[in-house]
Structure 1
Amino acid sequence: MPPHPSSHVSSRVQRAREALAGSLREIRKDAGLTGRELAARCGWSESKSSRIENARTPPSDADIQAWCRACGAEGQAPDLIAANRQSAEAHVEWKRLQRTGLRRLQESTGDLYRETKTFRVYVSDVIPGFLQTAGYASALLSSIADFRGTPDDVSEAVAARMRRNEVLHNGGRRFSFVLEESVLRYRLCSAETMAAQLGHLLGAMDLQNVAVGIVPFAEQRAVWPMPTFTVFDDRRVHADTLDAASTLTQPSQVELYARAFERLSQAAVRGAASRALIADAVASLV
């Protein structure tokens, strides 16, 4: 019998904690300290150091700061603290989020969307959720619900997505999108629905707070097509895979994805050139 999904999530959390414990152990060894010496510098018991190093006790943010300070490795503390915080939530399985239906998944990011000022979105597979029409979203979410066997609440999920996407019309927020040309060509819905979706995309490009770049098939590129990801300000990344949505908060991880977005953005065409690609995609639907 396959393991229960919750045990799968639990094992991932444990592996993340073990990785963090291993990093702290290496920092101590690199500093040439014994567990007892580190404990003395931190002002706690030697057994506490042992429990943290063996992933039996999750350290607090203050514990990590004290550990790194005692080892002269203060610069490593921010990444380790971020890793510690995300160990229980960083790799949230889509199935667990979706088991009560897709509407809940759409609403789960509402606060994050309202709090973020700058969105950087790269997509290689589908039209970004922010830019979807109700018809396109309905076709896409229906296929997801069918594939995953989740409760059929597609109409409610689409309505939730449309409400969530109202943030696009808030002039105080900036949106930068980079799409692979393939996104314009994939047939995930009827030709009529796709034509309406591409027309909606053209309209969104007129918004003052929205920038859309498209990487052409024929572009000589410095980086390869990547899985879809979104960077929220400079503090959080959502990176999607088939089985999971990874939430990344370590400063080095966010910087990596921000750098990837910049490289991908450099390969994109904009303005008249991007509109021409969309027009060609519309023409191919006939």
Structure 2
Amino acid sequence: MRDIVRVRQMMGARLKELRLGAGLTGRELSARHGWQPSKISKLENGRQTPSEEDLRLWCEATGVPDEAADMIASLRSMQTLYSEWRRQLRHGTRARQQSWLEMEAETERFRVFEPCVVPGLLQTSEYARQRLSQSIAFYGIPDDVEDGIATRLRRQEILYSPAKSFHFVVLEAALRLGMAPPDVMLGQLDRLTTLAMLPRVRLGIVPMRALLPHTPLTGFWIMDERAVVAETFSAELTLTLPEEVEQHARMFSWFARVACYGVEARKIIVRAMEDLAG
């Protein structure tokens, strides 16, 4: 929530800067659009969130209409920055998986980094059951695990679309952590070797002994160039500011450079399978 307040305050400061740069008083600006004078003060001091139309009219009135696009992008980022898991999941896991399905349908290029888990688009049904069951237990939401699994598996049909491309980078730790019983993990690792052969799927595995380029704080999904989705225990962050997308893209490229692909990635997966099998 503090991040939202901070962004709103920064936006207000920029609005004030534009008004002063145009030589307008607050009363003059409010009179142009029939606004209450108090609205100017509230917007500039971050006590009120502007609408997209407010931003367009403000930028036009202050002689910088080209500023509107960036400010609207900031506004949208602020509006989607923080979404509580409890609110998102109140209808169970199927609804959340459905929203992912819709978002993925709009995306052509996927760049996915996961340090601890196998990405959802690559999961087997039994591995997905482990992940979704944990969410149901932790958040105390309706138990619709079978519906959630079915929707997650339906999401995977997108892997075969000729209009999409996928680049996954996963730490070897995700293959070895106890995220599921050994038999489930064996099936999941075998599935990875198969999916890695798909023509539009590129799977990179970062070896355990690789010198990491940065601390892997959390997993994240880059959807084209328009958004980054990252999860915490209490929220899902959707980041849309161009600089935020660029920073995550740069971080993804850093990890991608130290990942192994093709035959070498397969060797890492097979070794993890052999260790599981004992």
TM range, smaller chain = 0.7 to 0.9
Corresponding residue for residue 36 of structure 1: 26
Q: Percent identity?
A: 35
Contact 2:18 2:59 (8 Å CA) reproduced: yes
Contact 2:80 2:239 (8 Å CA) reproduced: no
1:235 maps onto 2:223 in alignment: no
1:153 maps onto 2:144 in alignment: yes
After alignment, is 50-59 or 85-94 more displaced?
Answer: 50-59
SS in 2 for 1:285: helix
Aligned-residue CA RMSD in angstroms? 2.6
1:108 maps onto 2:96 in alignment: no
Q: Return the match for 1:215 from 186, 193, 206.
A: 206
Contact 2:203 2:261 (8 Å CA) reproduced: yes
Contact 2:114 2:169 (8 Å CA) reproduced: yes
Corresponding residue for residue 134 of structure 2: 143
SS in 2 for 1:227: coil
Q: Return the match for 1:206 from 197, 211, 230.
A: 197
Cα offset for 1:78? Answer: 3.6
Q: Return the match for 2:247 from 245, 251, 256.
A: 256
Structure 1 92/174 Cα, relative in aligned 2: closer, same or farther at 3 Å?
A: same
Corresponding residue for residue 5 of structure 1: none
Structure 1 33/215 Cα, relative in aligned 2: closer, same or farther at 3 Å?
A: farther
Cα offset for 1:159? Answer: 0.6
Corresponding residue for residue 270 of structure 2: 279
Q: Hey, what's the Cα distance between the residues in 1 that align with 2:28 and 2:244?
A: 28
Contact 1:231 1:258 (8 Å CA) reproduced: yes
Please list the CA deviations of residues 190-240 of structure 1 after superposition, one character each: whole Å capped at 9, or x if unmatched.
211111100000100000000011111211232221301001111111011
Corresponding residue for residue 259 of structure 2: 268
Q: Hey, what's the Cα distance between the residues in 2 that align with 1:121 and 1:237?
A: 10
1:189 maps onto 2:183 in alignment: no
Q: Hey, what's the Cα distance between the residues in 2 that align with 1:280 and 1:72?
A: 63
Q: Hey, what's the Cα distance between the residues in 1 that align with 2:167 and 2:18?
A: 38
Cα offset for 1:249? Answer: 1.2
Q: How does 1:24-63 map to 2 (within 5 A)?
A: 24-26=15-17, 28=19, 31=21, 33=23, 35-36=25-26, 39=29, 43-44=32-33, 47=37, 48-63=39-54
Corresponding residue for residue 92 of structure 1: 83
Structure 1 77/262 Cα, relative in aligned 2: closer, same or farther at 3 Å?
A: farther
Cα offset for 1:21? Answer: 2.2
One-letter code aligned to 2:11: L
Contact 1:103 1:158 (8 Å CA) reproduced: yes
**Alignment: residue pair count:** 275
Corresponding residue for residue 155 of structure 2: 164
Cα offset for 1:120? Answer: 0.6
The TM-score, its normalising length taken from structure 2, stands at 0.88
* Structure 2 gap segments, 5+ residues each: none
Cα offset for 1:241? Answer: 0.9
Cα offset for 1:36? Answer: 3.4
Cα offset for 1:14? Answer: 5.7
Q: Hey, what's the Cα distance between the residues in 2 that align with 1:184 and 1:190?
A: 12
SS in 1 for 2:222: strand
Q: Hey, what's the Cα distance between the residues in 2 that align with 1:120 and 1:244?
A: 21
Structure 1 38/87 Cα, relative in aligned 2: closer, same or farther at 3 Å?
A: farther
Q: Return the match for 1:175 from 151, 166, 178.
A: 166
